[in-house]
């Protein structure tokens, strides 16, 4: 059995053909509806699965495919398998390890009742096993990404000279993270224009609820390994040289800037992390005049470091992780998260492009939509639902660790050492959003004051008992304490008004 995010034609399963082996892929209703997915995510996965079915057939494999609209589809992994076992006299079932805890548990408990021998095998995708991270940090209270990343660099000999990092430094973050200068040329994002009208209509006929929009005559995302590699080569040739420098920049005019947009293809395993890392390293080596070490190191760190690290955190802390709520946040997610209909320009742009493309880049997710939800004290369950649905690359193992962990600090500091909160000054520093906003980024109080400002101080004040001792927060509390008590009172009052009228912002 092959899941919708296991579309790797290089898996050892497929390297020889055996007519005694029957592969199966299933589009099933519960997977398409366990959260309200973005329509482009559903199309992207179903299209990828269907193309994978064709590819396996062309390779000479026997494959059974259950379409979402097939009348004999029982919309259950277990029930469909039971029928196949009966119809084909199957004796042995293998499946690749699922990436989500939910499915892992379901398969372990349900498949034990199938009348066949069952074995789970590796998906051969990740560079660490599920428990590697837990083992590495066995005796430690915190799991530091940077130490994990250095270990990975050594283990895979990436950007290394013997035992030392090339260039003498492990991390070039300091050289990166610039604002985009006015008029700076940004190449257009590499987009496909696949016609997916039939699939779109089929999904609609099956009444699968979804969010977001799609131009079904011009579907932009890759559907197989070849297409995914094309997206990556475009990144190398046109975007890589400025990736790190503008990694944290945000712009009204550019929805993906110098980002690679390979997360969907990576997460459904069309491409392998190590091939991407090695190819990036090779490209940098051959183009050192154009691509600096800071760019390649910054890019590789995201995949060799963050991506594997987040997966390790997930398996080390599930199932408890999905109900952590360190800050005890209980507020509902504002309705306009589902429409983008707000006067806050940064929020409206970040949400608007997420609904349009199923994509926002890291800093938009972390410092705009995530930041706002955290400052507004939104229940992390609701925040998770939103992130898990809206992004084309969202699968729980990488979504929840980023959302509940990095962005919402609901894990109390497992992933991040402090909450990622900011006032308008950070958003204004890294973007051109504030220039065209209804609100004034400089004001903390008054009718036109940017809501982020009063909410920011309100957040710090409210959570002081939990955050006061954090050395990384000391500076902020010092600034707060230096304000006059009238000033502080006024800001807190403004924050209360903002929170009361949150739906009208
Ligand atoms: P690039 O900026 O080009 O980076 C290259 C690759 O590095 C990405 O494709 C991705 O595979 C990896 N990467 C970068 N940052 C991270 C990270 N923090 N964690 C794991 N991998 C990373 N990423 C997902 O793949 N799925 C999610 O559901 C997801 N949810 C997120 C939710 C929040 C609140 C935040 C703050 C981040 C989330 N991320 C998620 C991480 C990151 O934002 C995306 O991986 C990235 O924006 C994808 O775009 P890209 O391929 O253009 O990435
Ligand atoms: C996300 C998704 C969707 C929308 N549909 C399917 C499906 O019909 N069949 C399937 O096998 N997988 C689907 N997926 C992916 C799974 O829900 C799940 O997120 C991953 O397999 C877990 O890693
Ligand atoms: Fe966002 Fe505030 Fe800037 Fe408006 S002023 S774009 S709400 S940070």
Q: What residue owns the CA closest to ligand 2's atom 7?
A: 27
Q: Which ligand is nearest to the CA of 259?
A: 1
Whether 65 lines ligand 3, by a CB cut-off of 6 Å, is no
Instruction: Point out the ligand 1 atom lying closest to the alpha carbon of residue 395.
Output: 28
Cβ–ligand 1 distance for 391 under 6 Å, the answer yes
Å from CA of 35 to ligand 2 middle: 11
Q: Which residues line ligand 2 (CB under 6 A)?
A: 3-5, 26-28, 31-32, 37, 42, 45, 98-100, 103, 395
**Could you tell me the distance, in angstroms and rounded to a whole number, from the CA of residue 423 to the centre of ligand 3?**
9
Instruction: Tell whether the model's pLDDT for residue 308 goes beyond 70.
Output: yes
pLDDT score, position 137: 75
DSSP code string of 120-176: EE--S--SS-TTHHHHHTTT-SS--HHHHHHHHHHHHT-SEETTEEGGG-S--GGG-
- The closest-lying atom of ligand 3 relative to the alpha carbon of residue 453 is 2
Distance of CA 477 to the CA centre of its chain: 31
Radius of gyration of the chain (CA): 24
Write down the mean pLDDT value for the chain. 96
In tens, the pLDDT along 431-462 reads: 999 999 999 999 999 999 999 999 999 999 99
The protein residue whose alpha carbon is closest to atom 2 in ligand 3 is: 450
pLDDT of residue 144: 86
Q: Which of 86-90, 344-348, 414-418, 479-483 has the lowest mean pLDDT?
A: 414-418
Ligand 1 site, residue 371, Cβ cutoff 6 A: no
Whether the pLDDT of residue 139 is over 90: the answer is: no
Measured from the alpha carbon of residue 456, the closest ligand is 3
* 40 Cα to the center of ligand 2, angstroms: 13
Residues 105-121, mean pLDDT to the nearest whole number: 97
Q: What is the DSSP string of 405-425?
A: IIIT-TTSSSS-SS-----HH
Strand bridging mode 164-165 / 160-161: antiparallel
CA atoms of 328 and 465, how far apart (whole Å): 13
Query: Which ligand has the shortest distance to the CA of 250?
Result: 3
Cα–Cα dist 419/375, whole Å: 10
Domain 132-187+239-317 of CATH type 3.40.1530.20? no
Task: Read off the pTM.
Answer: 0.97
- pLDDT at position 141 over 70: no
The Å distance, Cα 399 to ligand 1 centre, comes to 9
The alpha carbon of 361 and the centre of ligand 1 are apart by a number of angstroms equal to: 7
Pocket test for ligand 1, best of 402, 409, 416 (most atoms within 8 A of CB): 402
Q: Is the pLDDT score of 106 beyond 70?
A: yes
Q: Which ligand is nearest to the CA of 426?
A: 3
Q: Do domains 12-121 and 132-187+239-317 have the same CATH topology?
A: no
pLDDT > 90 in the chain, percent: 94
Kindly report, residue by residue over 34-58, the tens digit of the pLDDT: 999 999 999 999 999 999 999 999 9
- In CATH terms, the superfamily for domain 335-504 is DNA Cyclobutane Dipyrimidine Photolyase, subunit A, domain 3 (1.10.579.10)
pLDDT value of position 175 = 73
161-175 tens-digit pLDDT: 999 999 999 998 877
What are the pLDDT digits (tens) for 388-414?
A: 999 999 999 999 999 999 999 999 999
Binned at pLDDT 50, 70 and 90, residue 136 comes out as: confident
Closest to 36 in 3D by CA, of 293, 273, 361, 386? 386
- The CATH number that domain 12-121 falls under is 3.40.50.620
Whether the per-residue pLDDT at 140 is higher than 80: the answer is: no
Q: Is the CB of 434 under 6 A from ligand 3?
A: yes
Phi and psi, residue 2, nearest 5°: -120, 130
Q: Whose CA is nearest to atom 10 of ligand 2?
A: 4
**Hey, where are the domains in the chain?**
12-121, 132-187+239-317, 335-504
264 CA to centre of ligand 1 in angstroms? 9
| List of residues 6+ apart from 222 with CB closer than 8 A | 192, 228, 230, 231, 264, 265, 270
Whether residue 18 has pLDDT greater than 80: yes
Residue 85 CA to ligand 1 centre (angstroms): 39
Look at residue 177 and tell me whether its pLDDT is greater than 90: no
pLDDT band at 86; cut points 50, 70, 90:
very high
């Amino acid at each position: 059995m092959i899941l919708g995010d296991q579309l790797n034609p290089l898996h050892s399963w497929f390297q020889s053909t055996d007519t005694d082996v029957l592969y199966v892929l299933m589009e099933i209703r519960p997977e398409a509806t366990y959260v309200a997915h973005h329509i482009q995510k559903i199309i992207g996965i179903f299209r990828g699965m269907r193309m994978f079915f064709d590819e396996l057939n062309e390779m000479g494999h026997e494959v059974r495919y259950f379409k979402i609209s097939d009348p004999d589809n029982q919309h259950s992994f277990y029930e469909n398998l039971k029928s196949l076992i009966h119809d084909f006299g199957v004796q042995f079932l293998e499946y690749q390890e699922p990436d989500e805890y939910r499915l892992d548990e379901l398969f372990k408990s349900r498949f034990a009742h199938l009348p066949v021998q069952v074995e789970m095998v590796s998906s051969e995708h990740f560079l660490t096993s599920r428990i590697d991270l837990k083992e590495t940090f066995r005796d430690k209270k915190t799991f530091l990404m940077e130490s994990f990343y250095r270990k990975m660099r050594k283990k895979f000999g990436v950007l290394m000279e013997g035992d030392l990092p090339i260039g003498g430094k492990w991390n070039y973050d300091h050289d990166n993270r610039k604002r985009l200068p006015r008029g700076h040329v940004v190449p257009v994002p590499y987009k496909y224009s696949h016609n997916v009208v039939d699939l779109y209509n089929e999904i609609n006929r099956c009444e699968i609820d979804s969010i977001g929009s799609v131009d079904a005559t011009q579907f932009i995302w890759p559907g197989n390994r070849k297409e995914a590699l094309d997206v990556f080569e475009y990144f190398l040739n046109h975007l890589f040289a400025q990736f790190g420098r503008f990694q944290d920049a945000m712009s009204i005019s550019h929805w993906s800037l110098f980002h690679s947009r390979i997360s969907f293809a990576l997460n459904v395993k069309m491409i392998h992390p190590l091939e991407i890392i090695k190819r990036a390293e090779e490209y940098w080596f051959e183009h050192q005049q154009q691509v600096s070490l800071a760019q390649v190191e910054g890019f590789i760190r995201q995949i060799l470091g963050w991506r594997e690290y987040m997966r390790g955190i997930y398996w080390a802390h599930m199932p408890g992780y999905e109900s952590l709520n360190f800050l005890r946040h209980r507020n509902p997610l504002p309705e306009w998260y589902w429409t983008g209909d707000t006067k806050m320009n940064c929020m409206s742009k970040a949400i608007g492009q997420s609904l349009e493309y199923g994509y926002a880049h890291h800093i938009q997710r972390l410092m705009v939509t995530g930041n706002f939800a955290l400052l507004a004290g939104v229940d992390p369950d609701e925040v998770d639902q939103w992130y898990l649905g809206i992004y084309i690359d969202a699968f729980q193992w990488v979504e929840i660790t980023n959302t509940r962990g990095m962005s919402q600090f609901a894990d109390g500091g497992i992933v991040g050492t402090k909450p990622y909160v900011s006032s308008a000054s950070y958003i204004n520093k890294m973007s051109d959003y504030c220039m065209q906003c209804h609100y004034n980024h400089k004001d903390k109080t008054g009718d036109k004051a940017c809501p982020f400002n009063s909410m920011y101080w309100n957040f710090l004040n409210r959570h002081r008992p939990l955050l006061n001792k954090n050395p990384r927060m000391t500076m902020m509390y010092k600034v707060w304490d230096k304000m006059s008590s009238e000033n502080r009172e006024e800001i807190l009052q403004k924050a209360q008004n903002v929170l009361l009228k949150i739906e009208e912002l």
